[in-house]
Structure 1
């Protein structure tokens, strides 16, 4: 069988590409998906007790008119709209996110420690005109030793599972709120919160089916082109041919890979150049483990003993295994088996070669972590009616110091073979790895193929 365009993966990028090809009138394309369902890391799962879970805390917000129009069509009004309410748990108290803008909520000694680190002369400087050498040095320089120690360093190690000295910082952009001493002091003295920062301060969420409902709907638009349960195991680039674990062979003119770039180069690609293989070995990632707890009863917010309206929370505390917990029932009551009478607490824990976790005991340690953070009363353990666990080896593409050079080596060489690699792990750029970015990487690739338009979301220049 021959197609003009072969797409590996039916996640956001692959489906975005397939949908745009179809919109532009192209019919000679196929999508091969290893799993039995679409969505990739944006898929959702229904457990045996009737709770719906995402793989992590996805929220729907956008930088693109095209993506907005598309999701409007796919959701057809069946969504909730939320204002972001996110918090950081530090020293037994809750600090509004972004942490660095709201340190007035800290106990006095910690508050002073953070302010003192921001004072002139207290922030370490790499030297006149010298840029920080790595993410760790950038944290210390921008936030000072206080905020670095109390939040930025421990939290980032938990989420990336990578020492910050091994990471670059060109990815940051709108991902991290910077800090100004004057604004911090103003917030402290005027007792005001600064919580509106960021592109996701309002977001939408499907009423039913979790985030995966969006991509189930998108997949239906191109369903005749998608084959599930077909994991690509070999790509013969010079012959323009791919083979799956089920024995399916497809010839193509152009290949779009949305699977992990390192696997494409090191496992699937036939006779890759040695420098490509060496570069792919420099690409690092963490693994993420989601623990979902379904709990009878709505509970209360310990801050005011009313309904808990918090969306998600961050945890730099090393005694708590997860880096983030999402009140998934708040996103949609239909994420629980009995809407309006249950909670769905979704916790994310990261691991890597640098940060190990005992996964056999993780569920119990998550429960203890929730109790430590006052998110689960001691007596509520017996009201846990569902425990859901799912792990993915590829969780976050880590922006290491070597990443950009590796991509500069790999991507042009692949394109010379009529292979394009895009998406969260296909492109390996976390800074353009949200759902909207990922869909638009596929859309823009399709437009490049059929209309010779320039891609703007995925570029090799940082």
Structure 2
């Protein structure tokens, strides 16, 4: 098979690219997807008891008019819109998110620790060399102790001292001492920060419904169950483990770039590029276990409107729980009559987890954090779980230097690596960012337009 463009992966980036190619009148391309379904990390699944689960807590918000229009065309009125209500469980109480703006909800002693850490002269005042020092400089020791340090270790499964801080941007709300004190004195909640303050969600099918519908528009252009086995950059040939061979002019890769470089890519001597392989070895990621816990609502159950909650403390394995029944009533088998808790736990070489124990520990953590009454454990009747080897691309200290080695060498071979793990830049890894990386790649290929969302320079 010969194609002008070959796209690896039918996740948000690959589908965005394929949709844009078709939109611009280009049909000389193929998408290879290793699974039997589209969506990548944005796929959704229905369990044996009729509950729908995402692979982690996705919400749809956007920085792009193009993405908004695409979503409108895919879902129309079959979506819901929510105002974010998120909380942090700390010191055996609930604190509205962002934590640093709402410390008035803490008990007196930790509340004072947080304020004391913000006072003049108490914060690290040097130039931060890593994310850990940045936390100390911006938030002070109290907020670092009660939220920022333990939470970030739980979500990244990486010590903050091994991470850079250039990725932060709009991802983390910084702190203003005057604002903090005003909120405490006036007993005012301060919860409107962030680009996902409002978000959308499909009425049916979970987040994956968006990409099922997008993939349906590309019928005939996607080859499923075709996992890449090797790429010969000299002959411009891709071979899959199922035996398919495709000749191409250019590749858009959306699979993890370290796998592309170290496992698939071969040159004229049949060996890989040692320089790229060394650079790819400096990239780090975590893995994520997603546990879905479902049960029937009883009359005495508290019906809270929370969307998702953060858990920095050690009394639970998970870093986040989503009230998935609040995203859409159709995420449960009997709408309005059941609860669905979607819980995420990270792991890595820095943070080991026994995967065979995580479901039981998750339910124990729901009890410990007041999410689930201990008397209701026996009522849990659906336990769904999945593990994701590549959960988050960690913004490690060496990431940017590694990408500056890898990306130009790939592009010299007409291979473009984009997306959450293809580009390895968490700060442009939201769903809208990922789709637009594919769209902008297609524009670059057909018209030479510059990419603006993803940049490695």
Same-fold status (TM-score > 0.5)? yes
Q: Distance in 1 between matches of 2:172 and 2:298?
A: 32
Partner of 2:35: 35
Partner of 1:449: 445
Q: Distance in 2 between matches of 1:173 and 1:89?
A: 24
- Shift in Å, 1:319: 2.1
Partner of 1:58: 58
Say yes or no: does 1:404 pair with 2:373.
Answer: no
Alpha carbons of 1:298 and 1:11: their partners in 2 closer, same or farther (altered >3 Å)?
Answer: farther
- Shift in Å, 1:287: 0.1
Q: Distance in 2 between matches of 1:299 and 1:396?
A: 39
- Shift in Å, 1:361: 1.1
* Cα deviation digits, residues 329-364 of structure 1 (max 9, x gap): 000010001111000100000000000011111111
* Cα deviation digits, residues 139-176 of structure 1 (max 9, x gap): 01110000001100000000000011110010000000
Say yes or no: does 1:235 pair with 2:231.
Answer: yes
- Shift in Å, 1:299: 7.0
Q: Is the 8 A contact 1:89 1:314 kept in 2?
A: yes
- Shift in Å, 1:272: 2.7
SS in 2 for 1:247: coil
Q: Map of 1:316-331 to 2, 5 A cutoff? A: 316-331=312-327
Say yes or no: does 1:267 pair with 2:263.
Answer: yes
* Cα deviation digits, residues 51-80 of structure 1 (max 9, x gap): 000000000100000000000110111011
Partner of 1:70: 70
Q: Is the 8 A contact 1:4 1:28 kept in 2?
A: yes
Q: Distance in 1 between matches of 2:393 and 2:258?
A: 11
Say yes or no: does 1:113 pair with 2:119.
Answer: no
* Cα deviation digits, residues 228-286 of structure 1 (max 9, x gap): 00000100011111000000000000001000000000000013321101000001000
Q: Please, what TM-score do these two structures have when normalized by structure 1?
A: 0.97
SS in 2 for 1:198: coil
Partner of 2:123: 123
Q: Is the 8 A contact 1:42 1:212 kept in 2?
A: yes
- Shift in Å, 1:300: 6.7
Say yes or no: does 1:11 pair with 2:7.
Answer: no
Q: Distance in 2 between matches of 1:252 and 1:150?
A: 52
Q: Distance in 1 between matches of 2:167 and 2:94?
A: 28
Q: Is the 8 A contact 1:298 1:340 kept in 2?
A: no
Aligned residue among 203, 216, 220 for 1:207: 203
Q: Distance in 1 between matches of 2:245 and 2:29?
A: 14
CA RMSD of aligned residues (A): 0.9
Q: Distance in 1 between matches of 2:44 and 2:59?
A: 13
- How many matched pairs? 453
- Shift in Å, 1:116: 0.1
Q: Distance in 1 between matches of 2:94 and 2:339?
A: 20
Structure 2 residue runs without a partner (length 5+): none
- Shift in Å, 1:382: 1.5
Alpha carbons of 1:184 and 1:30: their partners in 2 closer, same or farther (altered >3 Å)?
Answer: same
* Cα deviation digits, residues 369-397 of structure 1 (max 9, x gap): 10111110111112111000100100000
Q: Is the 8 A contact 2:315 2:369 kept in 1?
A: no
Partner of 2:81: 81
Give the 4+ runs in structure 1 shifted more than 4 A. Answer: 298-301
Aligned residue among 328, 332, 337 for 2:328: 332
Say yes or no: does 1:346 pair with 2:342.
Answer: yes
Partner of 1:92: 92
Alpha carbons of 1:85 and 1:300: their partners in 2 closer, same or farther (altered >3 Å)?
Answer: farther
SS in 2 for 1:410: helix
Partner of 2:187: 191
Q: Is the 8 A contact 1:230 1:246 kept in 2?
A: yes
Q: Please, what TM-score do these two structures have when normalized by structure 2?
A: 0.98
Q: Distance in 1 between matches of 2:272 and 2:282?
A: 15
SS in 1 for 2:5: strand
Q: Is the 8 A contact 1:287 1:395 kept in 2?
A: yes
Q: Is the 8 A contact 1:447 1:453 kept in 2?
A: yes
Q: Distance in 2 between matches of 1:172 and 1:79?
A: 30
Q: Distance in 1 between matches of 2:115 and 2:219?
A: 56
Q: Is the 8 A contact 1:67 1:439 kept in 2?
A: yes
Q: Map of 1:162-311 to 2, 5 A cutoff? A: 162-270=158-266, 271-297=271-297, 305=302, 307-311=303-307
Q: Is the 8 A contact 1:300 1:308 kept in 2?
A: no
Q: Distance in 2 between matches of 1:79 and 1:298?
A: 27
Structure 1 residue runs without a partner (length 5+): none
Q: Distance in 1 between matches of 2:394 and 2:374?
A: 36
